[in-house]
Chain A
Amino acid sequence: MSEPVLQVTGLHRTFGSVRAVDDVSFTLDAGASLGIVGESGSGKTTTARIIVGLEQADEGQVTVHGRARAGRARGKAERLARAREVQMVFQDPYLSLDPRTSVEAVLRETLRLHFPDTDHRARIRELLDQVGLGTRAADALPRRLSGGQRQRVAIARALAVEPAVLVLDEAVAALDVSVQAQVLNLLADIREQTGIGYLFITHDLGVVRCVTDEVVVMRHGRIVEAGPTAQVLDDPQHAYTALLLESVPRPGWDPDGIAAARRAL
């Protein structure tokens, strides 16, 4: 279980004068779940986009199973191989599906690209089943689906490639509480069944507690704290982690104190 799937070392990325990602390193073990926590501008999304290849790093390395993912992919074979290393689920389920493509067509397209010689109909049924969508949803266009159902489609689409790592960029942030719980449980089940590794990008510490084994806290592009989730959340070492924890609303919450602490930091 402890062999690393994903290894990120010394990532740097600047946009103009802004250091969006500044010396970020971490590893994700096989079948493990790692959370990256931070506020907007912390660099967590840029880090995720570099890992999946939507953004290029100025410096540093991302390796999956020891193979480096550097520069742009050359040729179809390399493109497909990379897609099978890392897949991504995006935040907004309303924008991450092509409005003109039905659920079945989305999945078929991906299967045709990656597994041209297999029985797609059976696999589509299996994938829909895996994400808790009935075959009735297969013909539907995205606009006929609820936010939760769309996110399930996005997950099925990512799983169709059979990746080693799944990056979830605020994948449950736009969902309602009851639907969010369904999707989080679904993700937990899938990890148990397939042994896929998760990289959870989120701002919600409750979600982090619920679904990750380890956590990395980012601020202004840098990692301020990292460690096992329970340890970091129960006994934060960095003042910023403590502030994030304090900021989670609960009864007897002291917003004035947090506001003061935020200004002091």
Chain B
Amino acid sequence: MNALDIQGLRLRLPGTARPVLDGVDLTVAPGETVALVGESGSGKTLTSRTALGLLPSGAAPEGAVLVDGEDVLIMTPDRLRVLRTGQAAMVFQDPRAAVNPLRRIGDFLAESVRLTGTMSAAAADRRAVELLDAVGLGPELLGRYPGQLSGGMLQRVMIAAALMGDPILLLADEPTTALDVTSQAEVVALLGRLRERFGTGLLFVTHDLGLAAAISDRVYVMYAGRIAETGPAAELFARPRHPYTAALLAATPRLAAPAGRLAAIDGQPPDLRQELTGCAFAARCAYATEVCRERTPEPAGEHPAACHHPLEGSHVDV
């Protein structure tokens, strides 16, 4: 059974002309790292949050979001609370914003499992020490306050906290964006090790294509609330089939590339207040034809791209 199985998720918000999420299909197997890549407003954060049942108010979801085989969208509030402290956990972008600065690290770690009564105080403390060790931090941190820790250390504490309930699904929403490049490596290495050790499925939400390529088994590329393309990481970055993926890769300033102009994507993503017919990327796409503006493309093929004119054989050096 998959750790996360999102089927045809469609999400409408009041005051918008098109759904913010439009038929999202996504799976994360236990022990698998899946990257969800997209720009601001693509719906990637929204998608990951639905796995915890965190919906914006007024949202009307359709489809199914199965965590460990159980549909989150029809859960009772009580069941959701258990889910959030148990099977599924989340690591946020800014560790400083996600922690109460006035509480000690030890209390913070034990809080969730104590509140739901899944663990006794002593068991929770033992588990906290064990997990701090797993994220490479010593037990002396239990008595410290968040302000005394660096950003990288604090993010490791957040990961330990997420693992307290022994989740089968870990959602990481841009967990390294607020960190320095060298601490980013440390956090990523840690997530990789923990995944192996605990068999947790990891959904890694990021805007950084290079990072997604470096760490994940499979990648989903999102654009305007739809999955544009999905496939094995190496395959998708070496031979993107969707013109959006290809354009995004070309627009990323890269170390290996020579200095000079980047291939920018003209225009902007479609506005939520406007109705959308056909392919969402058509207006910015160099390959767009009449059919793209009329009919929404369905993902097809072994390495599916939602495109009427998928690229074949193009090769991009990452």
Contact = CB atoms under 8 A, between A and B. Distances in A.
A–B in direct contact per CB < 8 Å? yes
Interface of A: 39-40, 146-148, 176-182, 184-185, 188, 203-207, 209-212, 229-230, 233, 243-253, 255-256, 258-259, 262
A147 B40 contact: yes
A81 to B, nearest CB: 33
Given A177-B248, A256-B189, A206 B181 contact: no
B262 interface: yes
B254 A249 contact: no
B257 A177 contact: no
B46 to A, nearest CB: 16
Given A177-B248, A210-B257, A262-B186, A250 B318 contact: yes
Contacts of A247: 181-182, 184-185
Contacts, number: 130
A235 B251 CA distance: 25
A18 to B, nearest CB: 14
A188 B151 CA distance: 34
5 contacts: A178-B248, A184-B253, A185-B264, A206-B255, A251-B214
B266 to A, nearest CB: 8
A247 B185 CA distance: 6
Interface in B250-306: 251-255, 257, 259-266, 268
Contact of A146 (B233, B254, B265, B268): B268
B264 A255 contact: no
Given A248-B255, A249-B211, A253-B214, A258 B261 contact: no
B40 A176 contact: yes
B233 A210 contact: no
A209 B210 CA distance: 15
Given A251-B237, A255-B186, A181 B210 contact: no
A47 to B, nearest CB: 17
B42 to A, nearest CB: 9
B214 A249 contact: yes
Closest 4 CB pairs of A and B: A255-B189, A206-B253, A181-B264, A258-B185
Contacts of B247: 178
Contact of B253 (A147, A179, A181, A252): A181
B209 interface: yes
A185 B261 contact: yes
Contacts of A179: 39, 268
Contacts of B213: 249-251
Contacts of A246: 185
Interface string B224-261: 00000000011001000000000110011111010111
Interface string B71-97: 000000000000000000000000000
A39 B180 contact: yes
Contacts of A177: 39, 207, 209, 248, 251-252
A124 B10 CA distance: 44
